Amino acid sequence: MSDIFCPDCKKHTEVAFDHSAGDTVCTECGLVLEAHSVDETSEWRTFANESNDNDPVRVGGPSNPLLTDGGLSTVIAKPNGAHGDFLSSSLGRWQNRGSNPDRSLILAFRTIANMADRLGLVATIKDRANEIYKKVEDLKSIRGRNQDAILAACLYIACRQEDRPRTVKEICSVANGATKKEIGRAKEFIVKQLEVEMGQSMEMGTIHAGDFLRRFCSTLGMNNTAVKAAQEAVQRSEELDIRRSPISIAAAVIYMITQLSEDKKPLKGLKRLTHSVLFAYTFGEIIILTLGSTHSADISLATGVAEGTIRNSYKDLYPYAARLIPNSYAKEEDLKNLCTP
């Protein structure tokens, strides 16, 4: 009970709440002060079929405009236990025998969602990938093609369009067996088909080295100071005529920054590096070569860029080291510590 002003009693009186009817009633004169009010308190009632199920969820999934019925069709659940309802069981079997025009779409959307979850992608990218697949599927031009590659390519394009690009190797790692070549061919096929359908070029978004840098640095366990220096170096590299892929530039910048780090060993592969030092000590003349190889191996593992590509990209960036590395991170005399390509 609580005190509310009653217009009939002309004073504050105690009121009672009738939760079943949603009414607020004055306890002195019986006047209904508020009718059909919404109870905003927590609801503890469960709507599950089984008594042992304490799941409070009482609504279905969200509507999906890409499906014929909006994803709100009725599904007859299978009865649990040995004493399941015979009628429900029979109806469920008959429903499964019926043709569902959205069956293939639902499976495709589920596969895209699984791949996106494994990569930690947001819901907007999943929705965009679903839209791309729906458009391609409506064209009836993907029959006989590798379904896993098509779905992976849709996710790759969605990441590009949402300005959250992922490398083809990252997409390939969750593509259920589809290879990089297959995903690349599927991507080109989808872009070509949609461009013909729309009558104009398809926007894919521009890839920059900075789009991958922070994720790579996090994988390598680099400190914040090194990450900020790498980000600034990548931004400055866009002013240069370096004809390398953005991923290769990002890997080369990381390779350059980690050589100038205060602790000199900011990477996670320290155990492998220790073994390389022992090996190099035995064969003294190749100490620098072995250390450099292990260093680039860690970066190659984190970025998916081959060690040879990292070294070649580093060779292109090395003459511009003074322009790329921020003065707050390394002085000009510190740049002499960089390995000569």
Tens digit of each residue's pLDDT (9 = 90 or more) over 222-234: 889 999 999 999 9
- The rounded distance, in Å, linking the Cα atoms of 131 and 233 is 37
Rg of the chain's alpha carbons, rounded to an integer?
31
Alpha helices in the chain, H assignment, sequence order: 86-97, 103-119, 123-138, 147-161, 168-172, 180-198, 210-220, 224-237, 246-259, 270-282, 287-303, 307-317, 321-324
pLDDT band at 204 (very low <50, low <70, confident <90, very high): confident
pLDDT band at 190 (very low <50, low <70, confident <90, very high): very high
Share of the chain above pLDDT 70, in %: 74
Mean pLDDT for 155-161 is 93
Mean pLDDT for 300-312 is 89
Mean pLDDT for 312-338 is 89
Residue 148 pLDDT more than 90? yes
Asked which of 112-121, 164-173, 190-199, 289-298 is least confident by mean pLDDT, the reply is 289-298
pTM higher than 0.85 for the full model?
A: no
| Distance (Å) of CA 29 to CA 10, 11, 15, 77, 216 | 11, 11, 10, 51, 72
The residue to which tokens 């104009």 are assigned: 200
Pick the closest to residue 118 from 198, 176, 43 (CA basis).
176
Pick the closest to residue 129 from 159, 104, 87 (CA basis).
159
Instruction: Answer for the pair 195, 174: CB distance below 8 angstroms, yes or no.
Output: no
Mean pLDDT for 129-136 is 93
Q: Which tokens sit at 178?
A: 């589809």
| Distance (Å) of CA 263 to CA 54, 224, 258, 276, 291 | 53, 13, 9, 18, 15
Residue 333 pLDDT more than 50? yes
pLDDT band at 277 (very low <50, low <70, confident <90, very high): very low
Residue 256 pLDDT more than 50? yes
Asked which of 40-54, 94-108, 113-127 is least confident by mean pLDDT, the reply is 40-54
CB atoms within 10 A of CB 82: 5
- The rounded distance, in Å, linking the Cα atoms of 318 and 339 is 9
